[in-house]
Amino acid sequence: MHLKLNLQRFQKELANDSSDPVQAYAVFLVMTVMYYYHADKFYLYAFLAMPLSWCMIKFYDFVAKHKWIGPLCYLVYMFAGLELVGMIINWGRHDYPISFLVWFLTPQSVVSFSGWYTAAIYLLMLGFLTSIVYYFAKTRYRMSMQFLIMLIPLSFYAKEGQHMPAVLVIVLLASYFLLMIYCRMLRDTDKQRYIPGSQGKISIAMYVIAFSVLASVIPKPTITPDREFIDNAMSYSSWSDILMNAISMFTDTTDNTVAISNNTRTIYYVNAPESLRLRTQTYSYYNSTEDSWTVSESYDRPFQDLQEPMTDKPQDVLQAILDAAALDQDFAETYDLIEFAGMTLPEQDLRELYLYTRFTTQVLPSPTRTVLLGSEISKDQVGQSAMNTFFAPNFSNGVSLQYYSDTYAKYEAVNPVLKKLSNQNYHALLLAAMDVLENSRPEQAELLIRADREYNNAYSYLDFVNLSDSQSDAIALLAQEITAGLESDFEKAQAIEQYFLKQNFVYDQSYQKSKGENAEYFMTQSRTGVCYEFATAMVLLCRSAGLPARYTQGYNLNELYDFKINNHETNYLIKVRDAHAFPEVYISGYGWLSFEPTVPSMDLPDGTQAENQAVMRWGFVILILALIAGLLYWKLPAIQEFFFRKKLLHMTPQSCAAALFQHMRRELRLSDSATVRELAVQSCFYPDGERFFASIDVLLYDKTCQNQEIQTQEIMTTTQLAETYFAWQAARKQFLKNLKEQEKLKFRK
C-alpha cells in the first residue's frame, strides 16, 4: 500500500512538473539534436527524455538546496555519467571503424549510423543541455544565455548546411518564449510563490500561440548565406587533415547520402581544360534490400595495378580496326565496316589537369581513363583507394594527371564507328583484326591483344558481379524495352542514359525515401531521386542489357574559379557539395566510359525560400489548430451539457439524482464534501426547489422511511427531476446575467 501511494505521488508530481517550461525547453533541445543524428526514432528519444529530465531537475533542486552535500553529490553524478558514456563509446568502438570524436565532428551524411555512438550523444546532450538550461533558468536567470543555448542544436545543422524541419523550429522558438515568460514573471522567488490557475495558463497559452503564429506567417526575406568562410575555417588547421584521413575511405558501403550535402568547404583546387566527372571510388555489389552499394576488394580496392589497363588510347584501338578493314575486304564485309575502311579518325589529345589541396588524402579524384601521372603515384592510387598510402598534393607543385577525355566518343567521326561495334562479336572481331595486322603492322596487332584483354576483364567482371546480384524481373524487362532493336554497346548505353530525361524523371534533393524504396521502386514508381538513384538505375539497367557497368562516386568539376596558387593557375574548385555519383560502362571499341543519367534539377525555390514557405505553412496549421481548440473550449460546456441532458432521461431516479447532485455541485464550484442541504442553500436563485432537493436527498441516501417532510408519492420521477434541473439551469443563467448587468451599471456610475 505504501509503495502504491508513493508511485501515485510520483506520477502526480511528474504530471504536474511536465508543464515546467525548464523541462520542456530542455526536452525540445534534445529533440532537435536527436533529429539530426537519428531522425527515424527522435520521438522515442523525446519520450525517454521526459522522465529522465524530470529526475535530473529534481536532483538539481536537491543540489541547489544543500550547500555542501549538494555539490559533492553533483560531482559524483557527473563522473558516474561520464563513465557510463565512456563505456558506451568503447562498446561502439568495437563495431565501428572510426573514433567517436571523428564521428561526432563529421557531418552525418558522410558517415553511417552507429547505435552506440548515437546513445552516447543522447546521454551527453541530455545531461549537458538539461543542466545548463536549469542553471541559467532557476539558479541564475540569464535569458541571453538561454538564447545561446538554443543555438547549440542549430550548429549541428549549420555544419552541414542543412535546414532544421519547420515544425521543430517553431516548437523550439515557442518553448524558448514560454521559458522567457516563466523565468521573468512566473517563477518562485524568496519573497513570492507562483500558484498556477486556469486563467493564467490560458493567457500564457494564448501568448505562446500568438507568438508562434506571428513568427511563422510574417513574410521573411530570402537570404542566401555566404558559408564560404565558415566551411573553410577548418581547412587551415591540422585537425581537418586528421578528419579527412579518418573518413575518406573508411566504409565499404555507400548510399544516397553522397548527393545531399550542402557543405561549401573547398577541398580541391583544379586547373583543367574542361568540365569533368572525377572518380574516387567504384562499387560493385548492389543490395536491393538495403538500397546500398558494397565494394569488391579485387576490383574496387586493388593492391596491384587496376584490373582494366588504362594505358592505351581509344583512338588507336579504333584506328587499328579500321586499318584492318582497309587491308582485308572480307574482314570489312563480315563486320559491316566497308564504309569506314581506310578512314583516318580525328586526333584524341592527351589532356592534363592539376590538383592542389590542403588535405592529406588516400585517394585522388581522376578522370575515368587516366593514363599517366606527373609524380610518383601508381595507377591503383588514382580514382581507387590505396588503403595504406596517403598523398598531399600541396600548393607548391600539386599533382598532375594526364587522361583521355570521354567526349571523344561523341565526335561526329567517331560515334558512327562505335555504333557498329557490339559485345556480341567484338572478341571475334579483335581476333580477326589481329590476324590481318599480325604481319604487316605488328604494333597495332599488339595493341589489339591488350584491347582484347581489357574486353575479357570487363566481361569477367560482369559475370563476377552477376553471381551475387539478384537482378529483378522488372529491371530486366525495362532494360529490354529501352534497348529493343539496338545492336551496339554505345547505342544501348546512350538509350539508357537518355531514358530518364525522356520519361520525365525528377531530380529532387528534398525527396525523402521511405524504408524499402530501392532502385526498382525508383524506376517503376517514384521516378524521383538524386544522382545516387540515377547512377544506380543505369548501372543495373546496363548489366541487365549485357553491358559491364559499375557504380562510381566522385566529384563534378563544374564550378569556375580564376585564382593563382604560388604562380600556378587554377580555374575550377571542388567543394564537398560537388560530390557526385555516376555510372561507368564498358563500350566495345572504346573501353570504360563515364555517362551522366542524372537529369537537371527542377526549377524549385532555393533552400531558404522553401524553408520559409514550410515555416509559414506550419504557422497557419498552428493557427487553425488553435482556433479549433479555442472553439472547442468555448463550446465544450454546451456540448457536455447537451449530452448530459440526453443521458439523464435514460437513468433510474436514484442514478439521475446522483448525477444531478454531482453535476450541480461542480457547476456551483462547491467542494466534494458539500451536502445536498448546502447545495440547496447556494441555489437561492431558484426558490421553487424545495421538493426537488428533498427528492434528491431521499433518493441519494434512501431516507424514504425516515424523512417525515416528504411522502413517498411526492418523490420525483426521472422525468420530473430532469425538467426541474432544466428550470434550475435557466434560473441560474438568468441570475448570472442580471448580476453582470448590475456590475456594468455600478461601473458606469
464 HSE (CA, 13 A, CB side): 19
pLDDT of residue 204 exceeding 90:
no
Mean pLDDT of 395-410: 81
pLDDT of residue 236: 43
Whether residue 423 contacts residue 456, with contact meaning beta carbons closer than 8 Å, is answered with no
Q: What is the pTM of this model?
A: 0.61
Most confident of 145-154, 190-199, 527-536: 527-536
Q: What is the mean pLDDT of the chain?
A: 78
Secondary structure string (H, E, C) spanning 170-186 = HHHHHHHHHHHHHHHHH
C-alpha span between 354 and 570 (Å, rounded)? 8
Lowest mean pLDDT among 143-152, 321-330, 568-577, 672-681: 143-152
Higher local confidence (pLDDT), 626 or 236: 626
How many angstroms from the chain centroid is the CA of residue 5? 44
C-alpha span between 254 and 110 (Å, rounded)? 9
- Mind giving me the DSSP string for 566-596? TTEEEEEEEEGGGEEEEEEEEETTTEEEE--
pLDDT of residue 15 exceeding 80:
no
Identify how many contiguous H helices and E strands the chain contains and give both numbers: 25, 15
Whether residue 409 contacts residue 593, with contact meaning beta carbons closer than 8 Å, is answered with yes
pLDDT of residue 477 exceeding 90:
yes
Whether residue 130 contacts residue 281, with contact meaning beta carbons closer than 8 Å, is answered with no
Mean pLDDT of 125-136: 87
Tell me the pLDDT band of 380, cut-offs 50, 70 and 90: very low
Amino acid 13 reads: E
C-alpha span between 150 and 175 (Å, rounded)? 10
Mean pLDDT of 581-597: 92
Q: What H or E segment, with its residue span, contains residue 556?
A: strand 549-557
